Amino acid sequence: MQHIAVIGAGTMGNGIAHVFAQNGHKVNLIDLSEDSLSNGLATITKNLDRMLAKEKITESEKTSTLKNISTFTVLKEGVANVDLVVEAASENLTVKLSIFKELDAICPKNTILATNTSSISITQIAAATNRPQKVIGMHFMNPVPIMQLVEIIRGYSTSNETTEEIMKLSTELGKTPTEVNDYPGFVANRILMPMINEAIETLYNGVAGVSEIDTVMKLGMAHPMGPLQLADFIGLDVCLSILNVMYDGFKNPKYAPCPLLVNMVMAKKLGVKSGEGFYDYAESRKAEKVSDQFS
């Protein structure tokens, strides 16, 4: 498992590429956009510089990590002769099914196909291929270079051999892999997203304001970040997408997204990525409450 392809150079993709490259793997980072690839490499470089400043890595380790990464805009070229593909593209079922169908056609037969999806069925993605036994979920947490957990999700047909290989590989990356079965939201988001949604409902119902809700959860429950601030960092569009997947999958009204969340996403108030969500990030990186219309 020495040669890895990562599809998507965004926040998750460049973080996954960073971790593999830092651990000695040759990484092909693939994205349709040259700008996205440039931004992804810039982010990796900046994160390595932070680690260097904190004396967590040496200058030579930084250099070797960057040398381990090659970039591609053509999928077929980027996945040729790789041992593992990790897809970290849009959290959109149609997009993922298209990518995996193409990967199955062009990748070597022994290549394991993994997805970083945070909620979409591994079984459904695997069904788009002729190698369902070699399709698996590798749900890394953000920020990937720092967070310890990798949620390893077995699809209905994922083989024991594939699962064992990915568990072993994740451990070699310095992560803690945790095996779960394939149900909407898996474990992490099945528990996290209803909590975030309930925090938004609490705001929507006027029980308390943004900072008050987050303060209660940080100080009262020992959470490092309040649920509304965490939602901003995840991306409110991503939160909405995951809740919709769980609502569709379970047909249980407890997973129905709060109307406030739906409206904020329609208004393109997506959190950190858009500069404004429950907090305002446009003027300062410090979290500030948005206008009273959301409280």
Task: Give the end of a domain, one of 125, 160, 181.
Answer: 181
**Strand duo 149-154 + 176-181: pairing:** parallel
Are 50 and 92 in contact by the 8 Å Cβ rule? The answer is no
Are 186 and 119 in contact by the 8 Å Cβ rule? The answer is yes
Two tokens, residue 236:
């409110």
Looking up residue 123, the CATH number of its domain turns out to be 3.40.50.720
249 labeled part of a ligand binding site: no
Q: Is residue 234 part of a domain?
A: yes
CA–CA distance, 235 with 189 (Å, rounded to integer): 14
Does 15 share its domain with 86?
A: yes
31 labeled part of a ligand binding site: yes
Does 153 share its domain with 205?
A: no
51 labeled part of a ligand binding site: no
Q: Is residue 295 part of a domain?
A: no
Are 113 and 135 in contact by the 8 Å Cβ rule? The answer is yes
Task: Give the end of a domain, one of 181, 198, 223.
Answer: 181
Q: Is residue 222 part of a domain?
A: yes
Q: Of how many residues is the chain composed?
A: 295
- Count the alpha carbons within 13 Å of 274 in the hemisphere toward its beta carbon: 20
Are 13 and 6 in contact by the 8 Å Cβ rule? The answer is yes
Does 23 share its domain with 140?
A: yes
Q: Is residue 279 part of a domain?
A: yes
Q: Is residue 211 part of a domain?
A: yes
Q: Is residue 81 part of a domain?
A: yes
**DSSP class per residue in 122-158:** HHHHHTTSS-GGGEEEEEEPSSTTT--EEEEEE-TT-
209 labeled part of a ligand binding site: no
- Per annotation, catalytic residue among 36, 47, 116, 118: 118
Whether 102 is catalytic is no
pLDDT tens for the chain, residues 1 to 295: 899 999 999 999 999 999 999 999 999 999 999 999 999 999 999 999 999 999 999 999 999 999 999 999 999 999 999 999 999 998 889 999 999 999 999 999 999 999 999 999 999 999 999 999 999 999 999 999 999 999 999 999 999 999 999 999 999 999 999 999 999 999 999 999 999 999 999 999 999 999 999 999 999 999 999 999 999 999 999 999 999 999 999 999 999 999 999 999 999 999 999 999 999 998 655 443 433 332 2
Task: Give the end of a domain, one of 141, 159, 181.
Answer: 181
CA–CA distance, 184 with 137 (Å, rounded to integer): 12
Whether 151 is catalytic is yes
- Angle (CA) 23-177-20 rounded to 5° is 20
DSSP state of 55: T
CA–CA distance, 258 with 245 (Å, rounded to integer): 14
Whether 189 is catalytic is yes
8 labeled part of a ligand binding site: yes
Taking Cα atoms as reference points, which of 10, 2, 8 lies closest to residue 31?
A: 8
Instruction: Give the model's pLDDT for residue 283.
Output: 62
Does 84 share its domain with 103?
A: yes
Does 201 share its domain with 162?
A: no
Matching residue, tokens 């739906």: 262
Does 153 share its domain with 22?
A: yes
Two tokens, residue 198:
């309930």
- Per annotation, catalytic residue among 28, 68, 189, 274: 189
- Per annotation, catalytic residue among 18, 25, 139, 170: 139
11 labeled part of a ligand binding site: yes
Does 198 share its domain with 61?
A: no
185 labeled part of a ligand binding site: no
Does 271 share its domain with 166?
A: no
Whether 119 is catalytic is no
118 labeled part of a ligand binding site: yes
Q: Is residue 20 part of a domain?
A: yes
Does 172 share its domain with 198?
A: no
Q: Is residue 63 part of a domain?
A: yes
Are 89 and 48 in contact by the 8 Å Cβ rule? The answer is no
Instruction: Give the model's pLDDT for residue 282.
Output: 83
Q: Which residues pair with 279 in a beta bridge?
A: 289
Does 10 share its domain with 135?
A: yes
10 labeled part of a ligand binding site: yes
Q: How many CB atoms lie within 10 A of CB 130?
A: 11
Query: 276: helix, coil or strand?
Result: strand
Looking at residue 23, its amino acid is: N
Print the domain residue range for 217: 190-290
Does 69 share its domain with 134?
A: yes
Q: Name the domain count of the chain.
A: 2
Looking up residue 219, the CATH number of its domain turns out to be 1.10.1040.10
CA–CA distance, 74 with 294 (Å, rounded to integer): 43
- Cα dihedral 254/256/262/265 (nearest 10): 90
- Per annotation, catalytic residue among 151, 170, 197, 276: 151
Q: Chain centroid to CA 247: how far?
A: 20
Whether the ω angle into residue 257 lies within 30 degrees of 0, i.e. cis, is: no
Two tokens, residue 195:
């909590």
Does 109 share its domain with 140?
A: yes
267 labeled part of a ligand binding site: no
